Structure 1
Amino acid sequence: MKKNIYKLHRTLSLIIALPVLLWAISGFMHPLMTNIRPQVATQVLPARTIDSAHIQTTLTAALQKHHIDSISSFRLVHIDTTWFYQVQAPGKTEPLYFSTINGKILTAGDWLYAQYLARQFLEGPAITDSAAALPPARAEAGSTAHDCCDAATSCVLNNVKGAKVHDASMLTAFDPEYKEVNRLLPVYKVSFERMDGIRIYVETTSDRFAFAMDNRRAVFDRVFRYLHTWDWLNLLGKAKHFVLACIAAIAFITSILGLYIFFTTKSNGSNGNSLVKARRYHRYTAVIASLFTLMWTLSGSYYAFSKLQTDTRDRYFVTGHLAATDVSIPFGMLAQAIKAPVNNVSMVHLQDGNYWQVYTKNGIQYVAAATGALLPHGDAQYAQYLATQFSSNPAAAITDTSYVTQFNDEYNFADKRLPVWKVGYNSRHHERYYVETSTGRLSVRVDDLEVPQGYSFALFHKHHFMDWGGKALRDFSTMFWVLMQVIMVVVGLTLYVVWKLRTRKGRKVGTASAAHG
């Protein structure tokens, strides 16, 4: 039996040798990739307090001016010191931009705003709160002395500081550079004329930094995609994940067989025998590296199998339907209700009607559009409302609601959105819905059956069990044990080649002896 196990181990080792080498070499690169990210000034822009003096035309008036009777959502944005209503029309991908001074529409507004945002992320915010508070120009009938739309356009296209924008284009689907792991769509890709060819991806509807890539990082990324995630198998569709899962599972089984052989057989002295010497090296390098081989292959196989399920999170979001006559922002009433400076305003629907969704430095508050009353714990209530819509569970079934402001092993960096609310239920294996109230979207749904996969990948595959030592120690640990995998495979292949050559030589000697016999 031991002889058969040894033969099976050798056969399986030959099958998985190249895949494991590819995974190990690219895995060694991954910590390097995380330390050569493109340098940007910031990934979060400071919120600007809205001075109602900048609001000289109501949103209702601006919409009626352009014969728009309903919208899905709105908020306020600024380009330099010029403010606009950013309006999402039903069924449209790109939002529209209307001047808060005169209601004029900003031509190519989303394209311009994407470039403005990208520059802020790359080079830092261009204006201070004091600059933003400068009194706006008055919109006078027939006046052409100041056009806020022209000013905003000139600010973006004629910027004399920093790198010039080479190109800006909207992405509505993921591609090899902006992969599905980035989650956010649609986004704009803004490329700058710099030696490093940096590209900044931004989500204009939330002022969000999505991703950055430069030429150096792109080389590492391309190598990683081909050696580690095997993008060359994308033509197989979901079957690619099945292939990866099976190969990783075979590697796991091979390691188990190797450990069995190690603990049930004894190693003899080499006495100058190169084959025995190679076998001894392989035994000890393999047993040292085997724990991490088991960790990586088990979590990798588990993860690949989980990818066979369709990720449907992007199908869950709420779409508003707001009449143009209902969206004139009552700044005076809102200031009185929340008693804090307003950074932004939108409108959402809860069970009993529409509410102003008011953003302040202390979070989001909700004011009833009909009465002006402040909704207690409004953001939590809206999160529960969203979870109820997405889960089809009754509101009474909610068991807990908590605010999540940082990633953890269950809700990790791959989920992208922060902050979110976690809304839990007792049903369907204690399902939890992580919802983003600022966009009305589901970030992710998890339950007790899915948690082991997430934990195994975070702890065993990405070495987060080393978080106690900080990123530098975790990266060193990852690279050291990946290097051990390479040594284990190389020594194993050397053992096979030595054995094969000796076997072939023995056959030749045997054949020659028979010929002279």
Structure 2
Amino acid sequence: MNSRLIRKLHRWLGLVFSLSVLIASGSGVIHNVMTRTQSPPPQARPSGGGMDVSAIKITVADAVSKLPGDKPEVQAVNLRGIGGQPWYQIYTKATRGPQYVSAVDGRVDAAMDEAYAAEIARNFLAGASVKKTDFLTAFNTEYINIFRILPVYRFDAGDALDTRVYVSTTTGSVTRHTDRQRQFEATIFTNFHKLGFIPDKDTRDLVLTLLTAGTFLVACLGVALFFVTRPKKR
């Protein structure tokens, strides 16, 4: 084997692909900082406003019969407390989102999903006033795919920290809580760890694969160079 050729390849490829090592080490530093400065993710537990169960007068079957259409195929039914009153949250095969029927009088309310989400957000933020600013059916640069749950509502508190929360009415909980400082750290981590500054996912995955493969190749050349240039036995 030509030791000079291996040495040159190792030197120049090492210089080129050292970028991936710098990016990986940088993301590790940011990750450690985030574990100290950011609270753990919110618990995935229902956080509505409670309910008076004695007020329930309508059965599940009666509530389903109130829905529009003929005999909808029900996939799931939850009992939610919204505004202190019990509501049936009904998922059917024919509709993408939940439908709400009052467990008190059988009233159907199409606007109850957003009202429920707003109540979850207010309770999570200790009663702070919130404003709906988005409804996400796909992931974006702030609410990325590691949070897994869609769709979600975004509510902003409008405070000095620029606090915002993402709420799922399916789980009945806040799925993400962030603010200006937390998002700044998260953006740096995403750009370093996953090359988030590349918008197209296929291109991003290709670059990550090439950088990782290049680093692997440089390591292999280093191992080969060790054996090629080792002192010969007398």
TM-score (structure 1 length as normaliser): 0.40
C-alpha change, 1:203 and 1:196, in structure 2 (3 Å) is: same
Match of residue 219, structure 2, among 228, 243, 255: 255
Aligned equivalents of 2:4, 2:42: Cα separation in 1: 61
What SS is found at the alignment partner of 1:173? coil
| Contact 2:51-2:85 within 8 A present in 1 as well | no
2:90, 2:98 within 8 Å by CA — same for their partners in 1? Answer: yes
Query: What is the aligned counterpart of 1:180 among 117, 139, 145?
Result: 145
Unaligned runs of 5+ in 2: none
Distance 2:143 2:37 in 1: 17
Q: 1:40 to 1:226 in 2, by over 3 A?
A: closer
The one-letter code matched in structure 2 to 1:75 is N
- Equivalents in 2 of 1:213, 1:228: separation in Å? 19
Find the counterpart in structure 2 of residue 98 from structure 1: 101
Question: For the structure 1 residues 40 and 197, does the alpha-carbon distance in structure 2 shift closer, same or farther, using more than 3 Å as the test?
Answer: farther
More helix by share: 1
Question: CA 1:17–1:58 in structure 2 vs 1: closer, same or farther (change >3 Å)?
Answer: same
Residue 209 in structure 1 maps to residue 212 in structure 2? no
Partner secondary structure for residue 101 of structure 2: strand
Q: CA 1:67–1:256 in structure 2 vs 1: closer, same or farther (change >3 Å)? A: closer
How many angstroms apart in 1 are the aligned matches of 2:77 and 2:13? 59
Q: How many angstroms apart in 1 are the aligned matches of 2:212 and 2:16?
A: 11
Is the CA contact 1:202–1:211 (under 8 Å) kept in the aligned structure 2?
Answer: yes
| Alpha-carbon offset, residue 10 of structure 1 | 0.7
Partner-residue secondary structure (3-state), 1:16: helix
Change (3 A) 1:10 1:189: same
Q: Is the 8 A contact 1:165 1:190 kept in 2?
A: yes
Of the three residues 181, 186, 205, the one matched with 1:241 is 205
2 CA distance for matches of 1:40 and 1:255?
37
C-alpha change, 1:46 and 1:171, in structure 2 (3 Å) is: closer
Q: Secondary structure at the match of 1:83?
A: strand
Instruction: Report the residue type matching 2:25 in the other structure.
Output: A
Q: Secondary structure at the match of 1:70?
A: coil
- 1:495-510 equivalences under 5 Å are none
1:5-44 alignment to 2 at 5 Å? Answer: 5-37=6-38, 43-44=44-45
User: Counterpart of 2:21 in structure 1: which amino acid?
Assistant: V
- Pairing 1:105-504 to 2, within 5 Å after superposition: 105-123=108-126, 162-235=127-200, 237-261=201-225, 264=229
Cα distance between partner residues in 1 of 2:94 and 2:86: 24
Could you say if the C-alpha distance between residues 80 and 198 of structure 1 is closer, same or farther in structure 2, counting changes exceeding 3 Å?
A: same
Compute the RMSD of aligned alpha carbons.
Answer: 2.9
Cα pair distance change 1:49/1:110, threshold 3 Å? closer
Which residue type is aligned with residue 210 of structure 2? Answer: C
Pair 168,104 (structure 1): closer, same or farther in 2 beyond 3 Å: farther
**Structure 1 position 84, deviation (Å):** 0.4
SS at match of 2:8: helix
- Aligned AA for 1:242? L
1:14 CA drift (Å): 1.9
Contact in 1 for aligned 2:150/2:168 (Cα 8 Å):
yes
- How far residue 78 of structure 1 moved from its aligned partner, in angstroms, is 0.2
Count of paired positions: 227
- Distance change in 2, residues 1:169/1:62 (3 Å): same
Q: Classify the secondary structure of the residue corresponding to 1:251.
A: helix
- Residue segments in structure 1 that go unaligned for 5+ positions in a row: 124-161, 267-517
- State the SS of the aligned residue for 1:234: coil
Instruction: Tell me, yes or no, if the aligned pair for 1:38 and 1:212 is still in contact at 8 Å.
Output: no
In 2: Cα distance, 1:81 partner to 1:61 partner: 21
Q: Distance in 1 between matches of 2:68 and 2:88?
A: 16
Distance 1:255 1:33, change over 3 A: same
Identity level (%): 30
Secondary structure of the residue aligned to 2:116 is helix
Give the counterpart letter for 2:211 in structure 1.
I
In 2, Cα distance between equivalents of 1:239 and 1:246: 11
**Distance in 1, Cα, partners of 2:206 & 2:99:** 43
Give the distance between the partners of 2:10 and 2:208, measured in 1 at CA.
19
Tell me, yes or no, if the aligned pair for 2:14 and 2:215 is still in contact at 8 Å: yes
Tell me the TM-score normalised to structure 2 length.
Answer: 0.82
Structure 2 CA distance for aligned equivalents of residues 70 and 92 of structure 1: 9
Give, in whole Å, the separation in 2 of the partners of 1:262 and 1:121.
58
Q: Which residue does the alignment assign to 1:87?
A: 90
Inter-partner Cα distance in structure 1 for 2:171 and 2:57: 24
